[in-house]
Amino acid sequence: MSLYQVQKLIYQLNRDPRTRQRYADERDAVLGDYDLTQEEIGALAKPDIGLLYVLGVNGQLLMHFAALHRIEWTDYLERMRQGLKEYGPVREGVYAATGYEGVEAHDARLKAERETR
């Protein structure tokens, strides 16, 4: 596993316009600059947000990598959920899923609570 290398590449992409341009122009060469497994290269190149999430990429890096690929917020969350179904629990890091009713159900509960105040 080389999660650190995956995250380092995403960090550079998120903050450096020149790395972004180079990634757009010659992606394989940029990927070759990092010590990555084939699974990680595949996940980055696709991009497979669900697999990157399960590999343990920090959400503060991953959500911007998703935005870079014009993946909308709700779609980003759904891709992570699909990743959990397809690849199993998060393998590293502190961004594991812990279970949640979802925003819509949560909003409805809060609205009901406000009305009974």
Partner 1 sequence: MPLVYCGACSHAPGITGRAERADTQTRQALETAFRRMGDEMRATRPDALVVIAAEHFANFFMNNMPAFAIGMADSYEGPIEDEAFLRIRRTTVPGNKALSRRLIETVMQTVDVAYAEEWKFDHGISVPLHFLTPDYDLPIVPANINCQGPPLAPLARAWAFGEALRRAVDAVPERIALIGTGGLSHWPATPDSGKINHEWDREFLRRWSANDREALLSYTDAEIYREAGQGGFEIRTFIAAAAAAGGATGRIDFCEPVPIFAVSCTLGSFELPPAQQNTPSS
Give me the residues that bind partner 1 (CB under 8 A), please: 4, 7-8, 11, 14-15, 53, 58-64, 67-68, 73, 77, 80-81, 84, 94-103, 106-107, 110-111
Query: How is 56-98 classified by DSSP, letter by letter?
Result: T--HHHHHHHHHHTT--HHHHHHHHHHHHHHH-S--SSS----
Give min distance, CB of 19 to partner 1, in A.
Answer: 13
For 114, the token pair is: 């406000």
CB-nearer residue toward partner 1: 39 or 92 = 92
Q: Cα separation of 90 and 11, whole Å?
A: 20
Candidates 52, 44, 117; CA nearest to 79 is: 52
CB-nearer residue toward partner 1: 28 or 68 = 68
CB-nearer residue toward partner 1: 28 or 99 = 99
Give min distance, CB of 77 to partner 1, in A.
Answer: 6
